Amino acid sequence: MHDIKAIRDNPAAFDEAMKKRGLPLQSPALLKLDEEKRARQKELDELLAKRNQFAKAIGQAKAKGEDTAGIMTESKTVNDRIVMLSADSVMDGVVSKDIITPITLDEKLASLPNIPADDAPVGKDETANKEIRTHGNKKTLNFKPKEHFDLGEKLGLMDFERSAKISGARFVTLKGPLARLERALASFMLDIHTNEFGYTEVVPPYLVKDNAAFGTGQLPKFGEDLFKTTTGHWLIPTAEVPLTNMVNDEIVAEDALPLRMTAYTPCFRSEAGSAGRDTRGMIRLHQFSKVELVSIVHPDKSDEEHERMTACAEAILQRLGLHYRVMLLCTGDMGFCARKTYDIEVWLPGQNAYREISSCSNCGDFQARRMKARFKPKEGKGNQLVHTLNGSGLPIGRTIVAIMENYQQADGSIAIPEALQPYMGGMKKISA
């Protein structure tokens, strides 16, 4: 969500930011809506004052036994106008092919993505992303590596066909040691993030209301990417939604910052618009599990926290002995709410490619303004918006994919990374 006052003060800077996002000129339409909203509010304030005057005059006339019919008629006219302005304030018409679609200023502001950070590369798509660093080396195998789904199906521990019978495409059933590997990874990640990195473990709701999905930017623009229940609740696409909304419409003390939370939850995504992409395997499912990281911080600390959060996600891959690279996303590849994003891409020998395994984003005050999430400074008057950050720390399914493809053996078995063996009851290898 954007601050209309900031746009009013510097429309050129806002337009330049939206241009970096690949959008046309925005400020003229926004400022027109803003002007209408303020004009209507001014008229509404004047009418409310006039209504109070009428009420007083009617009371005085009745006390004197005078006729109030004329004043009552004028008062009704004022009241009718107040009702109309209250119901239809800030409305404007956007004309397209002679069809007028009403839109409010807040709706227009809510539809526009965050302003990118100054150091975010400008570009249209992932080809403009910038490699920041790499860790480790690509795994060298002395045989032709298989993709994870071939390995899993041959082991008899990964079942897509039966899942399709039960739920349709883009679902998977894990069994035996692979099911245990999911549980082991979740415990391993949570232990590190809570014991070493200072995150508080949370078990949040998996169903959220409209206001929560709006607060983190899923609504209204990306509703088609979510699953909605018959009760009107939304299934969470990531624990970012309930965790970030822990401060929705709240004022926290400055001393309470930073707030760092982590959660292991199922995630549900419709994958709208991804037809034909990653149709086989576990890379892009409707249901998957993830350990999420969320930070609520002082505005002066958000850049520092972004680097810290990314390092926390990297630490998981490092302890699992997986090669990866960190990419700084360009303006055309960043998420809607992000002002700056690092993607961590893990190397998959079976695909002979890097694939995203974590995305860590600094959203600045963008989500906080939507949620009205503020903090009270120790000094000075007024409240300020917090900054919010989120990142994958990591998705369980994609981490299983990375382990299977990097630790596969010539006979089709999967070696278990040493760091995970205590969580697997001492098991060192997954075999058929």
For the segment 205-248, what is each residue's pLDDT rounded down to a tens digit? 999 999 999 999 999 999 999 999 999 999 999 999 999 999 99
Domain 4-110 and domain 126-430, same fold? Reply is: no
Classified as helix, coil or strand, 279 is coil
Most confident of 56-65, 94-103, 235-244: 235-244
pLDDT tens-digit profile of 144-190?
A: 999 999 999 999 999 999 999 999 999 999 999 999 999 999 999 99
Q: What is the pTM of this model?
A: 0.90
Q: What average pLDDT does this structure show over 101-106?
A: 74
Q: Does the pLDDT value for residue 96 go beyond 60? A: no
What does the angle CA 127 – CA 129 – CA 133 come to, to the nearest 5 degrees? Answer: 130
Better pLDDT: 14 or 50: 14
- Residue 281: the pLDDT is 93
pLDDT classification of 84: cutoffs 50, 70, 90: confident
Q: Which residue is associated with the tokens 């400074």?
A: 377
pLDDT classification of 102: cutoffs 50, 70, 90: low
Q: With contact defined as beta carbons under 8 Å apart, do 313 and 391 qualify?
A: yes
Active site positions, annotated: 269, 284, 356, 359, 398
For the chain, which residues make up each domain, given as ranges?
Answer: 4-110, 126-430
Query: Which CA distances in Å does 279 have to 143, 147, 170, 414?
Result: 25, 13, 7, 23
Give the right CATH number for 4-110 from 1.10.600.10, 3.40.50.300, 3.40.50.2000, 1.10.287.40: 1.10.287.40
Q: In the CATH scheme, what architecture does the domain 126-430 have?
A: 2-Layer Sandwich (3.30)
pLDDT classification of 68: cutoffs 50, 70, 90: confident
